[in-house]
């Protein structure tokens, strides 16, 4: 149970929800996977990257596997909303009662503040014929999985009198610390930034940026404002208006944009859930329209919880 939350009953069995099934990759055509550490230790000019088309052809989902999932959905009164072979994702929609019968789970309502979430109890069950095909079921539980470690510095009058307020880093300082090349602007590249929408005490989705604030920032640091676009994933959106939630979003964009102003920035907003986080990363990695070539660790300051274990993305 999330800290400060309490169970308030069962979820309405007639409520319609949407989940994502993760399907295994094709068999018999493995990619030559290189470890992240080995790739990171290789000079950028010497790295060999897999093209999106090659990845989809070799490591995407097998249409025969998807057909079996289609049959499973039909047998349980679930609708196949979408299929994406490259990301090996099948989205299903239906009633809570149908999902409960299909996967053998119980869904309870959990309330924290004014916000209410679904919480799954019991193991997720799949038929024997699908046990090797379905490798993940996400979306039955929609509790928040990440919390921000972002902090706003509180300036006291004493600090102002003693001139102790300028202890932060300028963007140029960060670029130097990370040894970012001074002769590169990121021109021709697209940077994907993953952001998760939180929910406030009233159940409203929050977290985003105000374009006017970004324009002011880039003008003050003397950098041309980069092209920025917001991408909605699973209903996520640019919902600015909450200082604490917006701070991390704005910081990610400002640092990336100031260091690589020639690059286009695509901000993928998704709900702060396990399903939202995974779908956002997949949406960026397989975006054939914007074709991001960089996905920085925009989630490094958030702690992600999945079941009993927790981890931080890097």
Assign residue 283 the CATH number of its domain: 3.40.50.200
Residue 65 included in any domain? yes
Same domain, 236 and 201: yes
Comparing C-alpha atoms, which of 213, 188, 193, 195 is closest to residue 264? 188
Q: In this structure, how many other beta carbons lie within 10 angstroms of the beta carbon of residue 270?
A: 25
What CATH number does the domain containing 99 carry? 3.30.70
Q: Among 81-85, 132-136, 193-197, 294-298, whose mean pLDDT is lowest?
A: 294-298
- Clarify whether residues 17 and 157 are in a common domain: no
Q: Are residues 71 and 138 in the same domain?
A: yes
Distance CA 282, CA 13 (A): 30
For residue 255, tell me if it sits in a domain: yes
Q: Which domain holds residue 217?
A: 147-311
Q: Supply the Cα-derived Rg of the chain in whole angstroms.
A: 22
Does 152 share its domain with 299? yes
CB within 8 Å of 255: residues ≥ 6 apart: 171, 174
Instruction: Name the band, by pLDDT with cuts 50, 70 and 90, for residue 49.
Output: confident
The domain tally of the chain equals 2
Alpha helices in 60-210 (DSSP H): 63-75, 96-103, 157-161, 171-177
Q: Is residue 107 domain-resident?
A: yes
Whether 160 and 285 map to the same domain: the answer is yes
Same-domain check for residues 156 and 293: yes
Of 82, 109, 142, the position where a domain reaches its end is 142
The last residue of one of the domains, among 89, 108, 142, is: 142
Asked if 290 and 166 sit in the same domain, the reply is yes
In a domain, 48, yes or no: no
SS3 22: strand
Residues 110 and 184 in one domain: no
Is residue 92 one of the residues assigned to a domain? yes
> What mean pLDDT, rounded, does the chain reach?
86
The whole-number pLDDT of residue 32 equals 61
DSSP state of 113: T
Asked if residue 296 and residue 154 are part of one domain, the reply reads: yes
Helices 243-259 & 211-220 angle (0-180, nearest 10): 50
More confidently predicted of 298 and 134:
134
Same-domain pairing of 298 and 152: yes
pLDDT tens digits, residue range 126-147? 999 999 999 999 999 998 888 7
Domain boundary among 122, 142, 162: 142
The whole model's pTM is what? 0.85
The answer to whether residue 34 is domain-embedded is no
Residue 202 and residue 170 share a domain: yes
Whether residue 281 lies inside any domain: the answer is: yes
User: 136 and 110, same structural domain?
Assistant: yes
């Amino acid at each position: 149970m999330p800290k400060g939350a309490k169970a308030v009953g069962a979820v309405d069995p007639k409520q319609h929800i949407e989940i994502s099934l993760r399907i295994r990759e094709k068999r018999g055509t493995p990619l030559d996977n290189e470890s992240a550490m080995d790739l990171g230790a290789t000079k950028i000019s010497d790295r060999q990257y897999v093209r999106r088309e090659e990845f989809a052809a070799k490591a995407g989902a097998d249409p025969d596997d998807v057909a079996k999932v289609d049959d499973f959905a039909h047998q349980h009164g679930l609708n196949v909303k979408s299929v994406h072979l490259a990301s090996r994702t099948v989205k299903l929609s239906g009633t809570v009662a149908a999902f409960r019968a299909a996967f053998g789970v119980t869904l309870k309502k959990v309330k924290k503040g004014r916000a209410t979430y679904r919480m799954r109890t019991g193991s997720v069950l799949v038929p024997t014929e699908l046990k090797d095909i379905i490798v993940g079921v996400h979306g039955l539980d929609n509790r928040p999985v990440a919390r921000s470690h972002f902090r706003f510095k509180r300036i006291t009058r004493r600090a102002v009198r003693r001139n102790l307020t300028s202890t932060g880093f300028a963007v140029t300082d960060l670029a130097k610390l990370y040894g970012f090349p001074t002769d590169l602007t990121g021109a021709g590249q697209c940077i994907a930034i993953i952001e998760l929408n939180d929910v406030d005490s009233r159940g409203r989705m929050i977290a985003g940026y105000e374009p006017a604030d970004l324009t002011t920032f880039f003008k003050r640091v003397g950098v041309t404002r980069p092209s920025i676009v917001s991408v909605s994933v699973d209903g996520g959106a640019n919902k600015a208006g909450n200082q604490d939630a917006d701070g991390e979003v704005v910081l990610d964009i400002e640092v990336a944009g100031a260091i690589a102003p020639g690059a286009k920035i695509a901000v993928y907003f998704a709900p702060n859930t396990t399903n939202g986080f995974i779908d956002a990363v997949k949406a960026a990695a397989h975006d054939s329209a914007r074709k991001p070539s960089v996905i920085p660790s925009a989630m490094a300051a958030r702690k992600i919880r999945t079941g009993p274990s927790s981890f931080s993305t890097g």
